[in-house]
Structure 1
Amino acid sequence: MSFSKFVSLVLIFHLLTPALVFSSSLSSSNGLSGIPKKFLDFAKRKEFVDWIVGVRRKIHENPELGYEEFETSKLIRSELDKLGIPYKYPVSVTGVVGFVGTGGPPFVALRADMDALPIQEEGDWEHRSKIPGKMHACGHDAHVSMTLGAAKILKEHVQEINGTVVLVFQPAEEGGGGAKKMVDEGVLDNVDAIFGLHVTHEDAIGTVASKSGPIFAGSGFFTAVISGRGGHAALPQHSIDPILAASNIIVSLQHLVSREADPFDSQVVTVGKFQGGSAFNVIPDSATIGGTFRAFLKTSLIQLKQRIEEVIKGQAAVLRCNATIDFHDKPVPLFPPTVNDNDLHEHFLEVAGDMLGNDKVKDLKPLMGSEDFAFYQEAIPGYIYLIGMQDESSPKLGAVHTPQFTINEDVLPYGAALQASLATTHLLKAELKPRSTEGHTHDEL
């Protein structure tokens, strides 16, 4: 055998050996299952906890509404800079997209929503909101912190990332369609899957809950102005009463679910706004109602929207009124149902079970709330889950979207470690599968 042939064989052996060892280690019982525990142990270190809690408190003190998250975005970029993680900015006005790993395929994404709500925070907590009338009342400050925490874990274990984790810091989840805007700008190009999480005050710390299939409803909103002719309350015959017409409309809208919807197709129509008149003895010229409609099927959402318009205009006409309707089609016409991918659910069960124990992974009953994470799921396979934060020995935490909402900061290491684990193990599994290039136009983001 010539020397050149011998050298070639040695080189081939060395090139193949890492792949063989890598494949063998993944197939072993400890290959993937040990990662979640290792990441959680890392996230529970005091220096990590102090850092992630500090990040969350800075965000909480300075809440910003949708597409106004400039300071939040600045903080995120500062932390990514400290970690040495490259990113794109701005994306969708205030969004940030970071990258951890090789920079090449396969790609998996983690999503965090950044915006706050127009709510005045109650209580005198040291780190309460410093911005009057604005508050992180849905846990997005925790979501951002946990995703930055996942980034820190991933960077520390970058040698275990066989591909690239895309960190999606998204604006305007609360009705602004931020996820749709991010998708339209190509954030998910070449990404194979995306994971999201949401804190919940309903479940205990150290537990998670989710399911495959529909998990949150799709939703739409409407406002209707019913116009009549005002007059004295003692002389209704000289007026056309929009209050009565609006009242009939509200009652009739309830029949859309009770009389027209399939009982096995969950739907909701709720009128939460009714404004009309300012005096007890005056019939006003107009009345305004507003509400929301929700369903787990997009076809049902479209049907509800059509019937709401027909009922409002028809009932107004019965009582000689006119009606104009605004479905608030901007920035998006309808928020689609949130539907978890079946394969990603199996992956979630394995990873969460390895980290927390199978008894801590709960099956979630579908909720009629909506999530713009659904826009990602319309583009690629996606999975979102709830992570508990209630300390069962402490008073009940306040509910989301209320001035009393609070975060149990003990949840932060759990969310950071679980997101990092889901991404890392997903990439490791993908490395063992033949990769299709169908639908992919390039190998880098």
Structure 2
Amino acid sequence: MVMMNHRCCCYYYSVLLFLLLMLCESISSDSIPASNDPSGIPKYFLGFAKQPEIFDWMVGVRRRIHENPELGYEEFETSKLIRDELDKIGVHYKHPFAGTGVVGFIGSGKPPFVALRADMDALALEEMVNWEHKSKVPGKMHACGHDTHVAMLLGAAKMLQKHRDFLEGTVVLVFQPAEEGGGGAKRMIESAALENVEAIFGIHSASMLPVGIVAARSGPLLAGSGVFEAVISGKGGHAAIPQQSIDPILAASNVIVSLQHLVSREADPLDSQVVTVAKFIGGGAFNVIPDSVTISGTFRAFSKDSFQQLRRRIEEVIIGQAAVQRCNATITFESKDQMFFPPTVNDNDLHKLFHRVAGDMLDSAAIKEMQPLMGSEDFSFYQEIIPGYFFFVGMEDETLEHPVMPHSPHFRINEDGLAYGAALHASLAVRYLSDRRTSAAAPPGHGHDEL
């Protein structure tokens, strides 16, 4: 009888020991990295972001925003949602900036300061995707992924707040209005949203990249962009008696052809530029020469010098070609709703940091060196005053036969990518602050005050 008890004890002891070893292995694999080992943080954060507590919550936030899209400077409900969630997390914030913007703070409240940015606005599009969380607002849709940007930054905030002991400084959360043409970043700067901030990171969902893939590059990433509108005035008359008129349609046609020569014959072939006339308004009848014609379009370049040269030559060509046809031309380059956007140029030191952090989180094959794109981003306004870094996170919906580009009413993303974006945001902030703390004193011109 004693023997049987001994054998039973040995059996149960073995089972208990096995279970304890399995538990220890599980805890070890998900354990918090040592404070002196920042390289372990990205993988830890990615695992943390995939947990239902964080991931399901981010998905819910994203869907609530997607159902209720708001255009630039009208993001009142989105802003309220952000503030409510920051309150629940326990994150201190200030509001408003640029009307609807929110700026949160996590960490010591002392230098160094690093910022993470998300834009909030939607587009004036009617959503054509039929799903449970389709836009409830006619004519408005999150067709560029800004709903995911907000969700990922809130996810990063939740992780950083829970792991405040990782932070050797202060993370500034920038929730910005009106990226889609409204220049919200510029107004955030004018509202002192980046006070004390030394560097800033921005993220964009990429519907053409698989989940688990990230892409960026050092130097020029996105083009500077501008718009122009020209009114070409002549003298109207009967189409059968053209000699008694001054035809602005003919003048405008010559202008458009000549504008194309600015890129094909004046620009360095290795310096990518674009001039596109996308709007032509003139005439109301087939047999009447109108008094005037309006044309408008966009121009883009990857350097400030090329951009300014293009602007100057567009004006000269329009005025000159109109004059050849005996017409007058007036040109407008900026308006309240349309402004110049500088090129988005990624800082080289931040590029190296991004590669280290992304490399600690992902396989090296998952980090892509992307080619520059002719699209533009108002994140560039931040980069004009402090070092900044903008990158893309894969969110391709693999159920689609052909991925859909942003700004389409059929735009869709894979929400699995939210975990990667949130983890990268949080990891970049932690690593930047850690590196800054161990580096030399901050460069001149960046004074710092406590909050």
Q: Which amino acid aligns with 1:424?
A: V
Q: Secondary structure of 1:379's match?
A: coil
- Output the amino acid matched with 2:381: F
Match of 1:35 among 20, 36, 41: 41
1:234 offset after TM fit, Å? 1.9
1:282-301 residue pairs with structure 2 within 5 A?
A: 282-301=288-307
- 1:139 matched to 2:159? The reply is no
Identity %: 67
Are positions 1:357 and 2:363 aligned together? yes
| Letter of the structure 1 residue corresponding to residue 147 of structure 2 | D
Q: 1:227 aligns with which of 209, 227, 233?
A: 233
Aligned counterpart in structure 2 of residue 336 of structure 1, from 332, 336, 342: 342
Q: Please name the residue that 1:210 is paired with.
A: 216
Instruction: Tell me which residue corresponds to 2:8.
Output: none
Residue among 252, 271, 276 paired with 1:265: 271
Work out which of the two has the higher radius of gyration on C-alpha atoms and give 1 or 2: 2
Give the C-alpha shift of residue 394 in structure 1: 4.5
Q: Could you say what secondary structure the match of 2:147 adopts?
A: helix
2:54 to 48, 52, 59: 48
Q: Among 110, 121, 131, which residue is 1:104 paired with?
A: 110
Find 2:316's aligned residue among 310, 315, 318: 310
Does the Cα contact within 8 Å between 1:208 and 1:387 map onto a contact in 2? yes
Tell me if 1:183 matches 2:189.
Answer: yes
What's 1:366 paired with? 372
- Quick check: 1:183–1:379 contact (8 Å CA) kept in 2? no
Q: Which amino acid in 2 is paired with 1:261?
A: A
Matching residue of 2:445: 439
Q: What's the CA shift for 1:84?
A: 0.6
- Indicate yes or no: 2:74 matched with 1:68: yes
Residue in 2 aligned with 1:246? 252
Q: Is the 8 A contact 1:116 1:135 kept in 2?
A: yes
The amino acid that maps onto 1:359 is A
Cα distance in 1, alignment partners of residues 237 and 315 from structure 2: 27
SS at match of 1:134: coil
Q: Deviations over 1:77-116 (max 9, x none)?
A: 0110110101010011110000011111111100001111
Distance 2:55 2:442 in 1: 40
Q: Which amino acid aligns with 1:167?
A: L
Are the aligned partners of 2:236 and 2:247 in contact in 1 as well (CA < 8 Å)? yes
The answer on whether the counterparts of 1:214 and 1:337 sit within 8 Å (CA) in structure 2 is yes
What secondary structure sits across from 1:68 in the alignment? Answer: coil
Seen in structure 2, the aligned counterparts of structure 1 residues 209 and 88 have a Cα distance that, compared at 3 Å, is: same
Task: Return the alpha-carbon distance in structure 2 between the equivalents of residues 183 and 159 of structure 1.
Answer: 29
Runs of 5+ in structure 1 lacking a partner? Answer: 1-24
> Which secondary structure state, in structure 2, belongs to the residue aligned with residue 142 of structure 1?
helix
SS at match of 1:135: coil
For residues 57 and 240 of structure 1, the distance between their equivalents in structure 2, rounded to whole angstroms, comes to 56
How many angstroms apart in 2 are the aligned matches of 1:62 and 1:278? 39
- Aligned mates of 2:371, 2:202 — CA distance in 1: 18
Give how far 1:360 is off.
0.2
Deviations 1:231-285 (A, max 9, x none): 2222222221111111111000001111111122111101111111222222222
Which whole-Å CA distance do the structure 2 matches of 1:360 and 1:393 have between them? 20
Aligned mates of 2:284, 2:35 — CA distance in 1: 70
Query: In the aligned structure 2, how far is the partner of 1:99 from the partner of 1:332?
Result: 31
Q: Is the 8 A contact 2:216 2:368 kept in 1?
A: yes
**Counterpart in the other structure of 1:6:** none
Quick check: 1:414 aligned with 2:420?
yes
Q: Distance in 1 between matches of 2:436 and 2:447?
A: 18
374-383 or 117-126, larger mean C-alpha shift: 117-126
Alpha-carbon distance in structure 1 between the residues aligned to 2:442 and 2:216? 29
Report the Cα distance in structure 1 between the residues aligned to 2:322 and 2:213, rounded to whole angstroms: 50
C-alpha displacement at 1:300, in angstroms? 1.1
Amino acid at match of 1:265: D
1:237 partnered with 2:243 = yes
In structure 2, the residue matched to 1:425 is 431
Give 3-state SS (helix, strand or coil) of 1:119's partner.
Answer: coil
SS at match of 2:207: strand
Partner amino acid for 2:118?
Answer: A
- On the 8 A contact 1:101/1:163 being kept in 2, the answer is yes
- Determine whether 1:95 maps to 2:62: no
Change (3 A) 1:437 1:349: closer
What's the counterpart of residue 159 of structure 1? 165
What's the offset of the Cα at 1:330?
A: 3.8
Contact 2:211/2:417 (8 A) holds in 1 = yes
CA distance in structure 1 between the partners assigned to 2:80 and 2:447 by the alignment: 31
- With over 3 angstroms needed to count, the CA separation of the structure-2 counterparts of 1:255 and 1:277, relative to structure 1, is same
- 2:30 corresponds in structure 1 to none
The answer to whether the Cα contact below 8 Å between 1:390 and 1:396 also exists between their aligned partners in 2 is no
Where do residues 2-21 of structure 1 align in structure 2 (5 Å cutoff)? Answer: none
**Counterparts of 2:268 and 2:75, CA distance in 1:** 41
- Please say if 1:387 is aligned against 2:390: no
Residue-by-residue CA offset, 1:265-315 (whole Å, 9 max, x unaligned): 111101111111222222222211110011111011111111111111111
Determine the structure 2 residue equivalent to 1:323: 329
Q: What is the aligned residue count?
A: 419
Matched residue type, 1:358: S
Matched residue type, 2:274: V
The answer to whether the 8 Å contact 2:208/2:404 transfers is no
Q: Give me the CA root mean square deviation.
A: 1.6
